[in-house]
Amino acid sequence: MNIYSKNKHFIFLSSYLFILIVLLFISYLIFGGNVNTFSPLAISDVVLYKNISDKIILGWIPYTNFHFEYPPLSALFFVLPRIFTSNFIVYMYIFSIISLLTAYFCIFISYKILKLYYQKFDFKRIFLYCLIFILLYLILIIFRYDIYSAFFTALGIFLYLLSYKIKNKTYHLLSYIVIVLGGLLKLYPFLILPIFFISDLKQNNLKAFFKTVIYGCVLIILNFYFIICAIPGILFFLKFHSGRGIHIESFYSSIILFLYNNGIISDVSVVHNFCSLNLSGHIPILLSRLYPYIFFIIYCSFIFFVFKRINWSKNLPKNIIFSSTIVILIFVLFNKVFSPQYLLWLFPMIFMLDVFNNKKYTISFIFLIATFLSVLIFPIYYEALVSLNYLIVLVLLIRNVLLLVILIMMIKSLFINQEKIDKLDEVNI
């Protein structure tokens, strides 16, 4: 009897029991008259989603009839709960249920990916880590829409790997479509597309890639009129986010605030603008102008490494999952904005890395520590962070350094893997 037979009943029974308990907990908080238990910061986004959905239900068009600060596909997920109710409490509850179930499906996708390549693996441990993450980040999972983009990203990667595993061109096309849909929810999935393209190029699968591009062009042509109408609103959306300063939780901010609290630099303050808390001062303003170049250099350097060094004909799942997770983490760390829900973007792929890395779940453990520190920062001690409390600023710095350590570990693992493959090839020759 293989490990799947042994673990199958445990995993699914535990899943149903876990979801039931969490749903009962959410029901108690929302319908038990305890909504005020939540921090206003925690549910502020859901209030915004509800207001947007009210406008759309009335026939208003995002980007055209009102300013819309989110990517286009997000409107669909804002409207979905609104179809069933106009009451905010019920709306919040439906949104929470959909988000929680989406998180569960993310775990299921990770199971399906690993099952493609391994007959035996300890999924109980991965499942446990995923549940711990969901419990720690429950408020952000159920009151933010970022889990949906994480689902589309994981599903796109699964379909891409499945297309090569069973040699199916339809799944290959679908993988690109799903990643693009994820990018229309949150922009970061678009960063994964060059990795897919390089993989196709190195595996002589350009025919399938170009067919995908042709389908994409046809869709753009068919929707050309609507795209033209939405351009002014989309430009406003891009201008809105490009005008934001260095976010208080960003990697840059944690270094600046640590130096400021130790008297090494001055002229730093926290201001509220562009719907977020950002840093003001000479150094934050300078960094807000330099960060696109910093991110661009790091991202392009990694993509160049992916193109030159990775042997795509061997260990495809590790190469795809590691490379995709790395580019997402590069975006999270070296972007000027780092909202706490951004860690959801790494779920569930971050918990699969150690399986492909043959390690004892080092990356998963470090990531859970970083997640716990994130919860301490938001929502528990967020006011203390805004007040530049020394201890909380230190916690923020440690959280971001831990994520940087994970990034270095992933890149190192990918590089060492390629070195070993190259050496084996030389020996075989």
Is the model's pLDDT at 379 over the cut of 90?
no
pLDDT of residue 188: 95
Among the ranges given (12-16, 88-92, 135-139, 286-290), the one the predictor scored with the smallest mean pLDDT:
12-16
Instruction: Give the count of beta carbons closer than 10 Å to the beta carbon of residue 90.
Output: 15
pTM comes to 0.90
3-state SS string for the chain: CCHHHHHHHHHHHHHHHHHHHHHHHHHHHHHCCCHHHCCHHHHHHHHHHHHHHHHHHCCCCECCCECCCCCCCHHHHHHHHHCCCCCHHHHHHHHHHHHHHHHHHHHHHHHHHHHHHCCCCCHHHHHHHHHHHHHHCHHHHHHCCHHHHHHHHHHHHHHHHHHHHCCCHHHHHHHHHHHHHHHCCCCHHHHHHHHHHHHHHHCCCHHHHHHHHHHHHHHHHHCHHHHHHHHHHHHHHHHHHHCCCCECCCHHHHHHHHHHHCCCCCCCEEEEECCEEEEECHHHHHHHHHHHHHHHHHHHHHHHHHHHHCCCCCCHHHHHHHHHHHHHHHHHHHCCCCCHHHHHHHCCHHHCHHHHHCCCCHHHHHHHHHHHHHHHHHHHCHHHHHCCCHHHHHHHHHHHHHHHHHHHHHHHHHHHHHHHHHHHHHHHC
Per-residue pLDDT averaged across 362-369, rounded? 95
Domain residue ranges in the chain: 243-429
What are the tokens at 237? 């959306």
Report the half-sphere exposure of 396 (CA within 13 A, side-chain side): 33
Smallest Cα–Cα separation from 147: which of 94, 186, 116, 195? Answer: 186
pLDDT band with cut points at 50, 70 and 90 for residue 203: confident
> What would the pLDDT profile of 108-156 be if each residue is shown by its tens digit?
899 899 989 887 777 788 888 998 999 899 889 999 999 999 999 999 9
Determine the pLDDT at residue 4.
45
- The predicted-structure confidence for 166-202, as pLDDT tens digits, reads as follows 999 899 989 999 999 999 899 899 999 999 999 998 8
| Residue 280 β-bridge partners | 269
> Could you identify the residue written with the tokens 């993988």?
175
| Residue 272: strand pairing partners | 277
For residue 205, give the nearest of 229, 176, 243, 242 by alpha carbon: 176
Q: How many other CB atoms are there within 10 angstroms of residue 382's CB atom? A: 19
- pLDDT > 90? residue 57: yes
